[in-house]
Amino acid sequence: MKTAHPANDGARHAEGQPLARPGWAEAVLTLLLYLQLAAGGANDGPGSALAAIAQAGAVIAILLTVPPTSRFWHHARVPLYLLAGALVWAAIPALLPASLRDTLGMAERPAPDLFVLEWSKAAAAALTLTIAALLGYRAGTARALVQWIAAAGVIYLGYAAIDAIDWLADSQHGTRYAGTIGNTNAAGIVFAAIALLGGGVALAPEETPRWQRIGALAATGVALILCAMTGSRSAILLAVLLGVVMLALRRREVADRHLTWRRMLPGTLLLVALMIAAAMLTPVANRSGYLPEDAASRGAIIAHYAAISAEAPIWGFGAGSFFAVNLHTLTSGTAPLYWNFGAAHNAPLQAAIEIGWPGLLLNLGAIGAILFAIARARRDWWSTVALCAIGAIAGSAMIDIALNVPAIVALTCLLLGGAWGAALRSGSRARRRQAQRHPHRDGRVRRDREQAVTEAAVEPR
């Protein structure tokens, strides 16, 4: 474990060097992530509870070993306040007595027994995001998190590939591959995210060893084939689109004369060809014919659940209540279509149903503040890779259940937190450099403002 005297922390911060942090932190968080993915995505009651406890324990252990003098908490305060506000807002209906809830016009909570579990999962996600941001801030980059997740992904892909071979022999291509999660679309977006992370390592700057690049490229190919075998059209499309974006950003943002289009094109075409071949040999080809009908049905689903959210727009129906709310609101016309829905297939809409639109807006405000901090900072390559993987997951969550799976939420929080922390560190360095170049600017502006107020006060009317 790396240690440093707190007195030296400010000097290292000013020099832009990595700050002291436990060297095992990223490895432990990655291990917990893949244990969740291997255990069905932790997408059941006992599994999600154990995952939330393990994540909270890991966060506490890391916090106890990080020097307390970091400026991170000041820079990150706005999103953290908003996330805390969202958790408090979600908890209020469960803490109030029934008589007061009736007085305030709160809707009946059809699943009060699930509140503690769902709230704990949300709190664990917020803690994971925070600790990933702290690690990214102290490292000054998201490199460690991205590389650990990509490296462990190789082992996960190896197991999934063996399992997929057995699936091919048994199913004779009649079904879609669901991976270790048990849901084809969720598995597809996990493979897509791992493929993007592997592609990011393969395209990394020159200090990355050649053997790592080759291994990452091979892992990307395997992940894309597995993604195609799930038959998830959205995951395949997002993997290709975000992969193209990553290639373009690599050429635009990194001045690397050795990385030319002529060198990248053969590997890129090979990966796309492998994906197309896998898609043609799996149910994807057959499912592409009714894509327009599926798109229309997704629109109908969103409209249906948006109407339900309007019945309790302020407080929602309670965290974890979606399945019960869905059953309670079925009619003879909607029952054949939605009777087995355990998710709204749109993450923001489901949040609005469960914790109300104010709770959703608090969460969106936190995410918006994080993305704003990332956008205005000078990003390194590893933050770009993380954002591409996050973009794929977010796109899937708008039309499917990606962010209903705790393991995928943990993956998103780790990547987003790492990029956010690196951006906060980059922004703080930029502010210090500006202050060094213009040491009297803040004082002069303040004096001018005070003088203007004084002059306005004495000016005759």
Q: pLDDT of 316-335, one tens digit each? A: 999 999 999 999 999 998 99
Inform me whether the pLDDT recorded for 291 exceeds 70.
no
| Range with the poorest average pLDDT among 225-234, 284-293, 343-352 | 284-293
Average pLDDT over residues 284-311: 77
Residue 10: predicted pLDDT: 47
Query: Torsion-angle region of residue 460: left (phi > 0), alpha (psi -120 to 50) or beta?
Result: beta
Across 3-26, average pLDDT: 58
Distance CA 175, CA 300 (A): 26
- pLDDT at residue 131 in the model: 96
State yes or no: pLDDT of 221 exceeds 80.
yes
Mean pLDDT of all residues in 219-245: 89
| Residue carrying structure tokens 């699943």 | 111
Higher pLDDT, 169 or 407: 407
Answer left, alpha or beta for residue 176, where phi above 0 means left and psi between -120 and 50 means alpha.
beta
pLDDT of 8 strictly over 50: no
Classify residue 345 as left (phi > 0), alpha (psi -120 to 50) or beta. Answer: left
Integer Cα distance of 250 and 305 in angstroms: 40
**Span 344-368, average pLDDT:** 97
Section 108-129 average pLDDT: 95
Which range among 13-27, 55-69, 247-261 has the greatest average pLDDT?
Answer: 55-69
Predicted TM-score (pTM) of this structure: 0.86
One-letter amino acid of 82: L
Place of tokens 């930029």: 430
DSSP conformation letters of 132-188: HHHHHHHHTSSHHHHHHHHHHHHHHHHHHHHHHHHHHHHHTTSS---TTTT-HHHHH
CA gap 391, 243 in Å, rounded: 11
pLDDT at 458: 38
As a whole number, the mean pLDDT across the chain is 84
Which pLDDT band holds residue 22 (cuts at 50, 70, 90)? confident
Question: What is the predicted pLDDT for the residue at 68?
Answer: 66
Work out the average pLDDT over 405-433.
87
Q: Report whether 382 contacts 18 (CB < 8 A).
A: no
pLDDT at 15: 45
Using 50, 70 and 90 to split pLDDT, how confident is the model at 1? very low
Q: What average pLDDT does range 139-166 have in this prediction?
A: 93
Q: Which of 220, 236, 230, 231 is nearest to 179 (CA)?
A: 230
Mean pLDDT to the nearest integer, 21-34: 92
* pLDDT-wise least confident of 13-27, 189-203, 375-389: 13-27
pLDDT at residue 149 tops 70: yes
Q: How confident is the model at residue 298 (pLDDT cuts 50, 70, 90)?
A: confident
- What is the predicted pLDDT for the residue at 364? 98
Can you give the pLDDT at residue 379? 82
- Reported as a pLDDT band with limits 50, 70 and 90, residue 247 is confident
Between 206 and 74, name the one with better pLDDT.
74
> What is residue 253's predicted lDDT score, i.e. its pLDDT?
57
If pLDDT is split at 50, 70 and 90, which confidence band does 213 have? confident
- The proportion of the chain whose per-residue pLDDT surpasses 90, expressed as a percent, equals 57
- The answer to whether 58 and 50 are in contact (CB under 8 A) is no
Residue 302 has pLDDT above 50, yes or no: yes
The pLDDT-based confidence of 74 (bands split at 50, 70, 90) is very high
Under 8 Å between Cβ of 392 and 196: yes
Higher pLDDT, 34 or 270: 34
Residue 263 confidence (pLDDT) above 80 = no
The answer to whether 370 and 420 are in contact (CB under 8 A) is yes
More confident residue, 271 or 238: 238
pLDDT at 11: 44
